[in-house]
């Protein structure tokens, strides 16, 4: 039976003006007067909304305008006097159903032109229960050898954390990075119109090994997936790398026979799909995701769907913005357990790869000096989700509101040690007291 879609209408405007931004806008239009506008936003959701406040953010990055406001979704809110322009609109917050289950709500509309008074827009707002299996920490930007000015990108890693109160079996859970590699104006993706907003699209897909109950992850435990499970601080690699991944539980190496100094103990992730040739094979050994910021999902296919992008062409498609014949794997959004997105800059938020109902935000690394000059690649920075509490055993409760902008810490706040050249967050596995699983090879 189809769920009845409930619509909540809010009149949104703005009582905040930025004089400098307004002046810039006037100059751009070569006019002496700007007529301020308002917009009515209609939220579309299948969830019951509580009286807990939701947050709405309207951001016009070109004019330097950012409006943030809390509102009661049961009463609505009236705001007016918006500077005409192009805005990214993000709605997020928490609601609770009658059974006491808490859901993180999120939805967005990207690059929305608001040019006339009394405009209207509908934004789909989805909800996910407080994340169970989540990305806790991600390190992707690589590091610099400051003696040789060489670069090192094989020290990327991903931390998968059990943020629930139940055992989660990793066996068969999938993990993917999305198309396109980077989020920027040069390569915004275009997908077939008939797909609607039902999918995210993957370049490379992996899954955890196991027969069903081989890799239990208890509450408060995390498992590390390394691109390359070695101590990257060794002279053989990069003495200035921030991470020792020699005790990572899993390794995502495409062709282990080609990898130098392979660590034999790490469990191997199972390679599922390669968008370049629509197979589960690849000729190289390294799995390198964008050092400028990738987008990632954890997902679990429904058994009855027979999800198989290799064997069934209906589960793959082209990015129509390119001439490439590469076929990205189609992942239904209802499969997704967690999604995070990283970009190169604030402007990259306008070219998101993750649907707003899964992740309404984006994280990017701060600019710093590297071997290639000032930038935010090869600088040894990482990002970790915020700790919002502790379980009885001292393990952390991690924030997951489906908004990476709000959920992640990316800048060193003085509580973490950092080299003088790096004021960003130094990557660290099992930060905040997360535990290692009992089956980790390093405990055997």
Least confident interval from 59-68, 70-79, 96-105, 300-309: 96-105
Q: For residue 418, name the pLDDT band (cuts at 50, 70, 90).
A: very low
204 token code pair = 């490379």
pLDDT surpasses 80 at 422: no
Query: Distance (Å, rounded) from C-alpha 401 to C-alpha 398?
Result: 10
Q: For residue 10, name the pLDDT band (cuts at 50, 70, 90).
A: very low
pLDDT surpasses 60 at 340: yes
Residue-wise over 145-161: b if at least 16 C-beta within 10 A, else e? bbeeeebbbbbbbbbbb
Cβ atoms of 383 and 405 within 8 Å: the answer is no
Q: Residue 53: its pLDDT value, please?
A: 83
- The per-residue pLDDT for range 364-398, each reduced to its tens digit, is 887 765 555 667 888 888 999 998 888 889 999 89
Closest CA to 400 of 16, 123, 134, 78: 134
C-alpha distance from residue 160 to each of 226, 332, 415, 430 (Å): 11, 21, 23, 10
pLDDT surpasses 80 at 24: no
The answer to whether the predicted template modeling score (pTM) of the entire model surpasses 0.85 is no
Which has more confidence, 185 or 218?
A: 218
Cβ atoms of 151 and 144 within 8 Å: the answer is yes
Q: For residue 76, name the pLDDT band (cuts at 50, 70, 90).
A: low
Least confident interval from 6-10, 136-140, 355-359, 432-436: 6-10
The SS3 call for residue 418 is coil
Closest CA to 139 of 435, 410, 352, 387: 410
Query: Distance (Å, rounded) from C-alpha 13 to C-alpha 246?
Result: 53
Outline where 125-261 has alpha helix (H): none
The percent of residues above 70 in pLDDT, for the chain, comes to 80
6 token code pair = 């409930």
Which has more confidence, 382 or 77?
A: 382
**Distance from CA of residue 42 to its chain's centroid?**
25
Contacts 24+ apart (CB under 8 A), 152-155: 152/232, 152/237, 152/238, 152/241, 152/378, 153/288, 153/291, 153/378, 154/227, 154/228, 154/232, 154/237, 154/286, 154/288, 155/226, 155/227, 155/228, 155/232, 155/237, 155/238, 155/241, 155/242, 155/243, 155/245
Instruction: Please state the rounded mean pLDDT for residues 307-330.
Output: 95
Residue-wise over 303-316: b if at least 16 C-beta within 10 A, else e? eeeebbbbeeeebb
Q: Residue 286: its pLDDT value, please?
A: 67
Instruction: Please state the rounded mean pLDDT for residues 356-362.
Output: 87
Cβ atoms of 227 and 284 within 8 Å: the answer is no
C-alpha distance from residue 209 to each of 111, 135, 315 (Å): 40, 18, 22
Least confident interval from 271-275, 320-324, 371-375, 382-386: 371-375
Q: Residue 21: its pLDDT value, please?
A: 45
Least confident interval from 121-125, 283-287, 411-415, 433-437: 411-415
The SS3 call for residue 442 is helix
CATH architecture entry for 6-129: Sandwich (2.60)
Which has more confidence, 246 or 19?
A: 246
Domain ranges of the chain: 6-129, 133-443
**Contacts of residue 125, Cβ cutoff 8 Å, sequence gap at least 6:** 43, 44, 45, 47, 91, 105, 106, 107, 357
pLDDT surpasses 80 at 52: no
**Contacts of residue 31, Cβ cutoff 8 Å, sequence gap at least 6:** none
Highest mean pLDDT: which range of 21-30, 68-77, 95-104, 193-202: 193-202
Q: Output phi, psi for 420, to 5 deg.
A: -65, -25
Average per-residue pLDDT in the chain? 82
- The per-residue pLDDT for range 128-184, each reduced to its tens digit, is 655 689 999 999 999 989 889 889 989 999 999 999 889 999 999 999 999 988 876
Query: Distance (Å, rounded) from C-alpha 334 to C-alpha 332?
Result: 5
Q: Residue for token digits 């793959």?
A: 316
Q: Output phi, psi for 268, to 5 deg.
A: -90, 130
pLDDT surpasses 70 at 421: no
């Amino acid at each position: 039976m189809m769920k009845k879609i409930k619509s909540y209408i809010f009149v949104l405007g703005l009582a905040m003006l930025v004089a400098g931004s307004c002046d810039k806008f006037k100059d751009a239009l070569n006019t002496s007067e700007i007529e301020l506008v308002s917009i009515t936003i209609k939220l579309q959701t299948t969830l019951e909304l509580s009286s807990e406040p939701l947050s709405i953010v309207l951001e016009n990055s070109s004019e330097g305008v950012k409006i943030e406001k809390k509102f009661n979704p049961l009463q609505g809110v009236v705001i007016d006097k918006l500077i005409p322009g192009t805005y990214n609109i993000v709605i997020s917050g928490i609601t609770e159903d009658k059974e006491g289950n808490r859901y993180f709500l999120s939805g967005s509309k990207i690059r929305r032109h608001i040019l006339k008074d009394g405009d209207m827009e509908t934004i789909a707002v989805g909800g996910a229960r407080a994340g169970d299996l989540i990305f806790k920490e991600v390190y992707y930007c690589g590091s610099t050898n400051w003696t040789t000015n060489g670069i090192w990108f094989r020290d990327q890693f991903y931390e998968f954390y059990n943020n629930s109160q139940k055992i989660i079996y990793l066996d068969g859970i999938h993990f993917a990075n999305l198309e396109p590699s980077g989020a920027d104006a040069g390569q915004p993706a275009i997908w077939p119109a008939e797909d609607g907003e039902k999918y995210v699209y993957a370049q490379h897909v992996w899954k955890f090994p196991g027969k069903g109950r081989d890799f239990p992850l208890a509450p408060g435990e995390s498992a590390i997936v390394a691109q390359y499970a070695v101590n990257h601080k060794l002279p053989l690699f990069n003495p200035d790398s921030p991470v020792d991944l020699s005790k990572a539980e899993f390794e995502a190496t495409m062709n282990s026979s080609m990898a130098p100094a392979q660590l034999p103990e790490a469990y191997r992730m199972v390679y599922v799909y390669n968008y370049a040739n629509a197979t589960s094979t690849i000729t190289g050994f390294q799995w390198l995701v964008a050092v400028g910021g990738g987008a990632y999902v954890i997902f679990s296919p429904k058994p009855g769907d027979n999800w198989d992008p290799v064997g069934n062409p209906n589960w793959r498609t082209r990015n129509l913005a390119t001439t490439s014949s590469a076929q990205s794997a189609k992942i239904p959004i209802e499969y997704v357990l967690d999604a995070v997105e990283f970009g190169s800059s604030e402007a990259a938020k306008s070219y998101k790869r993750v649907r707003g109902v899964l992740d309404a935000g984006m994280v990017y690394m701060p600019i710093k000096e590297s071997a290639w000059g000032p930038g935010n690649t090869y600088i040894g920075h990482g990002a970790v989700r915020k700790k919002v509490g502790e379980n009885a055993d001292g393990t952390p409760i991690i924030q997951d509101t489906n908004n990476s902008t709000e959920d992640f810490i990316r800048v060193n706040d003085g509580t973490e040690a950092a080299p003088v050249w790096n004021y960003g967050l130094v990557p660290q596995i099992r930060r905040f007291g997360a535990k290692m699983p009992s089956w980790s090879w390093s405990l055997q």
